[in-house]
Every structure is written in structure tokens, then in C-alpha cells.
Amino acid sequence: TYLAKERAVAIEAVERASKVCQSVFKRLVAEETLTKNDKSPVTVADFGAQAVVNSILEKHFPQDPIVGEEDSKDLQGDQGRALREKVVELVNTATQAPMSTNEVLRAIDRGQYAGGPKGRHWTLDPIDGTKGFLRGEQFAVCLALIIDGKVRLGVLGCPNLPYEMDKPEGERGVLMVAVEGQGAFQRRLSADSSESETPIRVADVADTKDAVFCESVESGHTSHGDNANIAKLLNITKPSVRMDSQCKYAAIARGDANIMLRLPSSSTYVEKIWDHGAGNIIISEAGGRVGDINGNPLDFSAGRTLRANDGGVIAASAKIFDAVIQAVQTTLAQKSE
């Protein structure tokens, strides 16, 4: 079947990277008391996860370039030594064959590709949702395959997401996967490979008054005042589901929530493709829609960013998507008056 090998390899890569992140959390975050500004565990996990994913992709698809978030410059030289040693040690807990320091750095630097409209490339966000990660809440490992400017395959690893949203204290760890034209599925993240996948669909919400927002825990990414205004226009009264990272896409794809808004936080901010590639195809294949503030589909052919779009990202169940876009436009127009 179409992209069968890519699908299997992407799942393996995301599962391994998720394990790396979880072991960093157990070792560094839980044990070392961190000040609020100390991002070092995230940095270790970020680099470690990127090295693991990139080396797995290189093994199976050596010709495929990668658009990744990190490069190895902070790990070079004497200044980077302490961090570099932690990263290399970490990577070697997750790989089948040991990797040397140089191999780890080279794997990280395979993520420097510029992207574009032709051919195949992968895009990776090794830890999406750093604040969520540090709090022991939601973060995601996000991997997507782009062919000729379109996302054709996406995998999201959400290590702390409850397998069933109505059992928040129950089992955690969800992996979602979608291939163009084949639907979207979820399975347990920590499962062995025989674990069965379950098809997922967005909730069949026909009227926005019955919809639930999915919003960030903190308001850096999108303006909560605008969200409140849009909620009013759409007659939304139900409490929002709050979580960081592309786990929001996962929540909408399986019907835990129905609308995600990422409004432009400034006129200059441009969204990055790795922040949306996997979530975009998982929602579309689950029967939802994703677009910019004008409802145009996200354009992944313009390089490392979504600069061909008009800003922002809105995802919703298909039946209410147009109504949400209308409320967004009304709200933004009132602001600019």
C-alpha cells in the first residue's frame, strides 16, 4: 500500500523519540529541582529526540532530506561539552547500535534542509510544547512526510495524553498516524508493534453552540481576548479543553474538542511547517478541516514556514469550519478598525 514502509518507519522513529523524552523527564525534570527559567532538560530531550529520529530516517531513507527545528551549534566546542555529553549518552539509551559523538551531531544536523515544492522531505518537531513538557503535561513528538509540497503522512506521539480523555487519571500515551487517503488512527504509544490501531474521527458537531474549544494552557501563542470574542460570536458556552502542543490536533481528531485557534500573535510571526505538518494531515484524514485565518488550506510548499498563507492556523470539525472562519474574520476586522 501507498507509503507503507514510510508509515512503519515513522511510527518507530516517533516511538523511540518519545521514550527518549520520557526518560529525560524522569531523570532530569523530576529529580533535579529546576528553576522556572532552566530549559536545559528540554534542550537535552530536543537534541536527543532529533538525533534518534534523524538517524532512523537516514537508515531507511538515506536520500530523504529533513526540515528540523534544531541544529548542533549549541553542542559544539568547550562551551557545548556538558550538554553534548548528556545528549550523546541519552541517544545511546535509545538506539540499537551505539552512536559516536560525531554521528549524533551529524544526525542532528541532517535537519537543515530548506524545504520547498518539489520531491520528498520529512519535517520534525522533536518536542512541541516545551512548557507542557517541563510541567509533566502535554507535549508531542511530531513527524510528517511532505511530497511535492503536500503532507502525505503524519505521526504524532503524545506521551502524556490520556488514551481515553474521559479517564484523565487512566492510561497515558497516544500515537496517532495518518496517510493521505487512508484515514487517521490511534494506538497506545508504548505498545508493541502488534498493538491494534483504532480509526478516529472528528466529532460530528453541526452547530457551534455545541462545540468545545481546545486552547493553550498559557496565552503566548494566541490571544485569549480574541478567543473569548470568537466564542461569543459562535455561542460557545462549554469550558475549553486546555493543553499545549500539537496534542490539540490530536484532541480534535478524535473528538475530545472541536475547534483550535492559533491567531497571529504579531503581524511578523510566520508559522513553521514542523509545528503543523503532522497535525494537519491527521485532522484532515479524521474528517476535519485546517486552514489559515481566511480558511485557505495550509501551504507546505513554501520552504520551512507557512509564509504563503495569511497567518494563523484554525482547525475544526468540517461542518462548523466555515462558521469558525467567519467569526475569526469578524473579530479581526473589529480589531483593525
Q: What residues are annotated to the active site?
A: 46, 130
Alpha-helical runs (H) found in the chain: 4-24, 40-60, 81-91, 101-108, 130-135, 224-233, 247-253, 277-285, 318-336
Q: Which of 59, 53, 60 is nearest to 144 (CA)?
A: 53
Displacement of CA 110 from its chain's centroid (Å): 19
**Cell matching residue 284:** 484532515
CB 29 within 8 A of CB 42: no
CB 303 within 8 A of CB 255: no
Q: Which residue has the cell 517541563?
A: 134
Q: Which of 236, 200, 207, 237 is nearest to 320 (CA)?
A: 207
Amino acid at 4: A
The helix/strand/coil state of 144 is strand
CB 308 within 8 A of CB 301: yes
Q: Tell whether the torsion through CA atoms of 296, 300, 306 and 308 is positive or negative.
A: negative
